[in-house]
Amino acid sequence: MAGLGIFTLQYAEGLSYFSTDPRACTNCHIMQPQFDSWQKASHHGVASCVDCHLPQSFVAKYMAKPENGYYHSKGFTFQDFHEPIVINSKNSQILQRNCLGCHEPMTSDMLVSNQDSPGCVHCHATVGHGEKAGLGGPETTLELEGESR
């Protein structure tokens, strides 16, 4: 079992997921369209995958990485993920917090306390991943939030 685990870790480039390098997200090929579109997006020069998609605190980040890794590797292995990939509700909340955290000086006066209000990416869908290229959009994300996982 240990040998199989070590082989799998090596084959899947498992240690690369502890880095902040956006190329690690493309190891399994599922995220290649998202990576490609991020390279063309307006935030490419200022934010990487982990800046937007993972919690900012050290402990929360390194708890979320293996959880997301598990679901991504399961989806890739069993090909049981929704196509196109959509963000789940939990990760959508992390994304929203990170948008507001980086843009707090600009958004603090606009924030609405209503949790049912649309997230930043509802209107700003192209900021992180550029123009839609088969990646789903705000309408797809909202329709499928309940289906994730």
Q: Residues 63-72: pLDDT tens digits?
A: 998 888 888 7
pLDDT over 60 (residue 138): no
The pLDDT assigned to 140 comes to 45
23-32, 45-54, 80-89: the lowest-pLDDT one: 23-32
Mean pLDDT of the region 119-125: 84
Place of tokens 């959880």: 67
Mean pLDDT of the region 112-132: 74
- pTM (2 d.p.): 0.73
